[in-house]
Structure 1
Amino acid sequence: MKPLNSSTLVDAHVHMQRCFTWSHFFHSAYRNFQKSALSLTKDFSAVLLLSEVAGVQYFRDLLALSDKDQAGQTKLLGDWQVFKTEESCSLEVRRAQGESLFMIAGRQIVTQEKLEVLALLSDAQFKDGLALSQVVEEIRAAGAVPVVPWGVGKWLGQRGALLSKFIETGPNNVFLGDNGGRPTFWKHSAHFKLAQDKGLLVLPGSDPLPLSSEVERVGSYGFHLPQKLSSRQPAAELKNHLFAKPKSLTAYGNLQSPLAFFKNQVSIRLR
């Protein structure tokens, strides 16, 4: 691949878990972004799209922390410092050494049918328990980006059939999500092919599990764009790019090995 003058790397499915520390979270994310950017460019923007479940407000906590001076932030963030942008839904996190990350708010909603839907690039709040079509419509009405993410077993059986029908008959400004936790032996779901045939994009993300080791995966799987984002309105710029319907998005990162996948599945069930 020809090197780019600049690039933006986006992990489109990120959770801050209670077993993570912010310092470890940011260090891991930046290290993974930097590693993935080596083959692209030295000049890159790094973006984490949060997906927070009901009752979780880590983005709001970071936003409040941005009003404190560096000394007031050090206890929670270590050698990182958080700064506001011109948007209520985005923040920039920096180190004195020059590393920088954008954190952009978003929610994860569980539908009536027990499918997950992400509302990305927005600080709007949404209710669980509504029908898939209604959830997606509310996300679109709020100006957020609706994504139905892949998850282990969640697109099988009746839920899989429902999703197929939704892809075929639903709105065009909706996305599917791939997951870096998908094991190498688990081939692409047929739903991705349906989406491709309709012109819908797939947004990849790391989707770290609530296991302490999973903090190492933040930023490790996503997509990249051939230009940097501004520090003023990164969410608006990224949203405009996605809604402009590029023909495809170039993914970066690797899927999980079978051993890591099965180890994580056992660990989750033994918690």
Structure 2
Amino acid sequence: MAIVADTHVHLYKCYDLNLAFSELFRNLDRRAAEAGSVVQSRAVKAAFLAERQDCDFFENLENGRLDGQLGEFKVDRIAGHGCMRITAKDDQLFLFAGRQSSTLERIEVLGLAMSGTVPDGLTAFDTIRRIKDLGGVPVVAWAFGKWLFGRGKVVRRLVDAFKAGEILLGDSSMRPAIWPEPGLMKLARRKGIAVVAGSDPLPFAGEEQMMASCATIFDANLDTLHPLVSARAILAGVGSMPAVSGGRAGVLDVLRRRRGAGAKKT
């Protein structure tokens, strides 16, 4: 089995949820196909939410409050808070709860595969500890300009301080195609710290199409009876570097998306 996953998913009030899930399913299938016929034939689709403090889409989906906005998609609640199965016809996707926190140093840290929240404004080290206390998997996420200068030094200290399996680094579709892979990602890999990738869609209508534009391929078996526990173990125990699938936009497209996010509200 293989898992094809978008590890940095946002849902926003301005989104058409039916379109968002349609794009997730379609683009995850594309990412699996890009990885080859063997992966495509046995891939399980997954999406990891990284919700901001003002968003509660996982809870609202779980409680049925958004069923009327899902179109053809159905929510299959799984025993054990933190994961649900999204189904459409004969296809399915595992959706995991998670949060995004902005640290005191203005670095983005994701808490994947976890319920509960971690407040903004803690130090990066304290944010990671709180995520671990909640059972989540911490991901230090790349964001435009946030790994440079003083903040880059903070990320370097995190990479130096933690071992393989304790944190992940996160790449994003927002990193322009001509932008070389950051040296901190290369350093992390040398230490055995895995780099995962996700779409990180922005908060304005139309960004639904970016879902799973960038994804991660795990050579692992997801226990579909206990998916939350299984996903945590896979993320924290990546034995070999997962593959990244998908393309990145040009600089002008990235700048256009950033302008759109600044001009429109959720």
> What is the TM-score when the length of structure 1 is the normalising length?
0.90
Question: What letter is aligned with 2:263?
Answer: L
Q: What SS does the aligned partner of 1:242 have? A: helix
User: How far apart are 1:171 and its partner, in Å?
Assistant: 4.8
User: How far apart are 1:141 and its partner, in Å?
Assistant: 1.9
Instruction: Assess, with a 3 A threshold, how the Cα gap between structure 1 residues 42 and 194 changes in structure 2: closer, same or farther.
Output: same
Distance between the aligned counterparts of 2:142 and 2:199, measured in 1? 11
Establish whether residue 166 from structure 1 lines up as the match of residue 158 from structure 2: yes
Aligned to 2:70: 77
The answer to whether the 8 Å contact 1:86/1:232 transfers is no
User: How far apart are 1:121 and its partner, in Å?
Assistant: 0.4
Aligned to 2:115: 123
Aligned to 2:16: 21
Q: What SS does the aligned partner of 2:225 have? A: coil
The answer to whether the 8 Å contact 1:104/1:122 transfers is yes
Establish whether residue 7 from structure 1 lines up as the match of residue 6 from structure 2: no
Aligned to 2:172: 179
Measured on the aligned residues, the alpha-carbon RMSD in Å equals 1.7
Aligned to 2:239: 246
The answer to whether the 8 Å contact 2:219/2:242 transfers is no
The answer to whether the 8 Å contact 1:149/1:177 transfers is yes
Establish whether residue 48 from structure 1 lines up as the match of residue 40 from structure 2: no
Aligned to 1:150: 142
Establish whether residue 139 from structure 1 lines up as the match of residue 103 from structure 2: no
Distance between the aligned counterparts of 1:37 and 1:162, measured in 2? 34
Question: Which runs of no fewer than 5 residues in structure 2 stay unpaired?
Answer: none
Q: What SS does the aligned partner of 1:207 have? A: coil
Q: What SS does the aligned partner of 1:42 have? A: helix
User: How far apart are 1:266 and its partner, in Å?
Assistant: 2.5
Aligned to 2:188: 195
Question: Which runs of no fewer than 5 residues in structure 1 stay unpaired?
Answer: 1-5, 67-71
Aligned to 1:210: 203
Q: Percent identity?
A: 27
User: How far apart are 1:19 and its partner, in Å?
Assistant: 1.6
User: How far apart are 1:228 and its partner, in Å?
Assistant: 4.8
Question: What letter is aligned with 2:114?
Answer: S
Distance between the aligned counterparts of 1:270 and 1:110, measured in 2? 21
User: How far apart are 1:229 and its partner, in Å?
Assistant: 2.4
User: How far apart are 1:115 and its partner, in Å?
Assistant: 0.9
Question: What letter is aligned with 2:6?
Answer: D
Deviation track 1:26-73 (CA, whole Å, cap 9, x = no partner) reads 10100001122223323321111000111211000001018xxxxx93
Distance between the aligned counterparts of 2:132 and 2:174, measured in 1? 27
The answer to whether the 8 Å contact 2:49/2:98 transfers is yes
1:102 to 90, 94, 97: 94
Distance between the aligned counterparts of 2:92 and 2:238, measured in 1? 27
Q: Where do residues 221-240 of structure 1 align in structure 2 (5 Å cutoff)?
A: 221-240=214-233
User: How far apart are 1:220 and its partner, in Å?
Assistant: 2.2
Question: What letter is aligned with 2:73?
Answer: W
Instruction: Assess, with a 3 A threshold, how the Cα gap between structure 1 residues 26 and 228 changes in structure 2: closer, same or farther.
Output: farther
Matched residues, number: 259
Deviation track 1:233-266 (CA, whole Å, cap 9, x = no partner) reads 2221121122223121111111112332122123
Q: Structure 1: which 4+ aligned runs deviate by more than 3 Å? A: none
Greater C-alpha radius of gyration? 1
Question: What letter is aligned with 1:149?
Answer: A
> What is the TM-score when the length of structure 2 is the normalising length?
0.92
Distance between the aligned counterparts of 2:52 and 2:141, measured in 1? 14
Aligned to 1:33: 28
Aligned to 2:83: 90
Distance between the aligned counterparts of 2:235 and 2:224, measured in 1? 18
Q: What SS does the aligned partner of 1:224 have? A: strand
The answer to whether the 8 Å contact 2:163/2:193 transfers is no
Greater mean deviation of Cα atoms: 13-22 or 37-46: 37-46
